[in-house]
Chains A and B, each alone.
Chain A
Amino acid sequence: DIQMTQSPSSMSASVGDRVTFTCRASQTINKYLNWYQQKPGKAPKLLIYSGSSLQSGVPSRFSGSGSGTDFTLTISSLQPEDFATYYCQQSFSTPLTFGGGTKVDI
């Protein structure tokens, strides 16, 4: 199984900050890495698919990069509605696996 490791597990940030999260796969997954945002009590929301493709309707302040084993999600200017938990997920092979999440709070 492919293990997904996210870092950090939590972080504190301020509105307007540029923040970057990291996700590492235990083996190469090419570009098959997706990012989700989840707020408390809500379902996850797809932000980025295939490593760097912005899902329709997602603000352009979100961007993804990477391939192989190392990936990043960047929020260029953190907004109040961005305080949430972010998960990466590999779609290279089953069993599909998620990272443990990065929680962003104030």
Chain B
Amino acid sequence: EVQLVESGGDLLQPGGSLRLSCATSGFSFSSHAMTWVRQAPGKGLEWVSSVSASGGSTYYADSVEGRFTISRDNSKNTLFLQMNSLRAEDTAVYYCAKDRITISWDFDYWGQGTLVTVSS
């Protein structure tokens, strides 16, 4: 059974930093691109960042470029999102998602989400 479990969400002040993790199991992690998608309270889905299967290629939304860093540890089947210089507008539930095939940019499995709240 494929499982994705996010962790690391928290309440923090503007300007702070946070590292999200997504522990996975049940599939060949090193064979799939992975993605972070967020959803602000009461709002729609927003793509945040993606990483290729090897970790060699990364992609970011303009809204987080330069502040967030996506990475992965294929030996531990885990995806990360390092979030720096956090802003109130980064408040959202953050989901990790698995590419349906190696790199398809569509997502067949999602985690349950982890809440990040940025507020003074």
Given A43-B110, A43-B111, A43-B112: A98 in contact with B104 (beta carbons within 8 A): no
Would you give the shortest CB distance from B94 to chain A, in whole angstroms? 11
Would you give the shortest CB distance from B97 to chain A, in whole angstroms? 8
A43-B108 Cα distance, complex, nearest whole Å:
11
Binds A, one of B11-19, B43-51, B73-81, B82-90: B43-51
CB-based contact B44/A95 at 8 Å: no
On chain A, the residues within 8 Å of B107 by CB distance are 34, 36, 44, 46
Q: Which of B46, B95, B105 has the largest count of A CB atoms less than 10 A from its CB?
A: B105
Would you give the shortest CB distance from B39 to chain A, in whole angstroms? 9
What count of chain B residues pass the 8 Å CB interface test?
22
CB-based contact A89/B112 at 8 Å: no
On chain B, the residues within 8 Å of A50 by CB distance are 106
CB-based contact B110/A44 at 8 Å: yes
CB-based contact B47/A46 at 8 Å: no
Chain B residues touching A, majority SS? strand
Chain A residue at smallest Cβ distance from B112 = A43
| Contact indicator per residue, chain A 81-98, by CB within 8 Å of chain B (1) or not (0) | 000000101010011111
On chain B, the residues within 8 Å of A100 by CB distance are 44
| Contact indicator per residue, chain B 57-68, by CB within 8 Å of chain A (1) or not (0) | 001111000000
Would you give the shortest CB distance from B78 to chain A, in whole angstroms? 18
CB-based contact B47/A95 at 8 Å: yes
Can you list 25 A-B contacts (CB < 8 A)? A32-B105, A34-B106, A38-B45, A44-B45, A44-B110, A46-B100, A46-B107, A49-B100, A49-B104, A49-B106, A49-B108, A55-B108, A87-B44, A89-B47, A91-B104, A94-B59, A94-B105, A95-B59, A95-B60, A95-B62, A96-B35, A96-B50, A97-B47, A98-B47, A101-B44
User: Which B residues contact A (CB, under 8 angstroms)?
Assistant: 35, 37, 44-47, 50, 59-62, 95, 100, 104-108, 110-113
